[in-house]
Amino acid sequence: MKQLRGYIKIIRPTNCIMMGIGIISGYIIASGNISFSVELLAGIIVAAAFTAFANVTNDIIDYEIDKINQPHRPLPSGEISRKQATYYSIFLLLLGIFASTFTKNIWFMLIPPIVAMVTILYNVYLKKYGFVGNVVVSFLVALSFVGGSLIAVKHITSYTVIFSSMAFFAILGREVHKGIVDVEGDKTKGIRTIAITKGEKYAKIVAIFFYMLAIILSTIPAFLGLTNSYYLVIAPIVALLFISSSLNLWKTSDKNALRKEKDKVRVWMLLAMLAFIVGGLKL
């Protein structure tokens, strides 16, 4: 039972579920309707499997660091061994590649292996270069929405491009925000986040800038007539929530308060996703 718990914890199931939701969101946003298909299920499995692969490889690579900073994680706590984790990561990689063939989309078959290589590159090298790592993480998450579009309509719609761009900047803002919260831990790992290299005040400005850029992008679909009337109700509420978190981020230096605000932003991002999904439905 302990070992099974370790296999579940190491993949960070919440992150895997979020990526699966990203595929579903991209599918609905592109197609304008909610319908089940084998291709959609395959896409969800691909997104979840590659996210799990990324998380397992991250823990394998960070094993020595985690023994000091996060000894409760599955590897340093002994719930599973590094050898078992390595075999597990290979299984997840093969699962993602195999599932991609059921999407019946050539791009979806080609992109996952590239994502896998970028993930390894990030874990081994790019993560140390704070902001570059933030960009990679944000891009890979935003890519899930594009994947949903490819499955639904075999191409990337303009609505999907806008939403993916908005998601990219919102996630990027949150990653910079997270760097402010994790300053002490990142210093021990040698990760050069903006908060460490430029200072926390500068990092706050950058994070807020990206949050505001995401808000601006969220207004474009309405101006282009790509949404229904429900979007005009939900989107402004989400924008106000992002603005509220940005103001709170700017005003406080308390790490606990900053962490709570960072967690709130994840909820606002889910609401933004809901706004785009509802707004894109052909009702």
CATH of the domain at 21: 1.10.357.140
- For the stretch 174-207, pLDDT in tens is 999 988 888 777 777 777 889 888 989 999 999 9
User: What pLDDT score does 69 carry?
Assistant: 60
What type of residue sits at position 179?
G
Same domain, 95 and 167: no
Q: Where among 105, 125, 156 does a domain terminate?
A: 156
User: What pLDDT score does 68 carry?
Assistant: 67
Same domain, 201 and 88: no
Query: Cβ of 225: how many Cβ atoms within 10 Å?
Result: 7
Same domain, 151 and 164: no
Same domain, 149 and 166: no
Could you say which residues of the chain have pLDDT below 70? 1-2, 65, 68-69, 283
Query: Cβ of 41: how many Cβ atoms within 10 Å?
Result: 16
Residue (of 254, 260, 261) closest to 207 by Cα position: 261
Number of domains in the chain: 2
Q: What gap in Å lies between CA 57 and CA 167, rounded to an integer?
A: 25
For residue 175, give both structure tokens.
């990653």
User: What pLDDT score does 2 carry?
Assistant: 67
Q: Collect all residues with Cβ–Cβ distance below 8 Å to 35 and sequence separation of at least 6.
A: none
Same domain, 7 and 144: yes
Same domain, 8 and 18: yes
Residue (of 223, 220, 219) closest to 235 by Cα position: 219
Q: What gap in Å lies between CA 250 and CA 261, rounded to an integer?
A: 11
CATH number at residue 230: 1.20.120.1780
CA distances from 115 to 91, 147, 165, 215 (A): 16, 12, 18, 27
The pTM for the full model equals 0.83
Alpha helices per DSSP H over the chain: 2-10, 13-31, 38-61, 63-69, 82-100, 106-124, 130-153, 158-181, 183-189, 194-197, 200-223, 231-251, 255-280
User: What pLDDT score does 176 carry?
Assistant: 93
Same domain, 26 and 142: yes
User: What pLDDT score does 241 carry?
Assistant: 95
User: What pLDDT score does 283 carry?
Assistant: 65
Q: What gap in Å lies between CA 241 and CA 50, rounded to an integer?
A: 31
Same domain, 220 and 276: yes
User: What pLDDT score does 1 carry?
Assistant: 67
- Domain that residue 129 falls in: 1-156
Euclidean distance between the first and final Cα of the chain, in Å? Answer: 47
Q: Where among 107, 135, 156 does a domain terminate?
A: 156
For residue 31, give both structure tokens.
């197609």
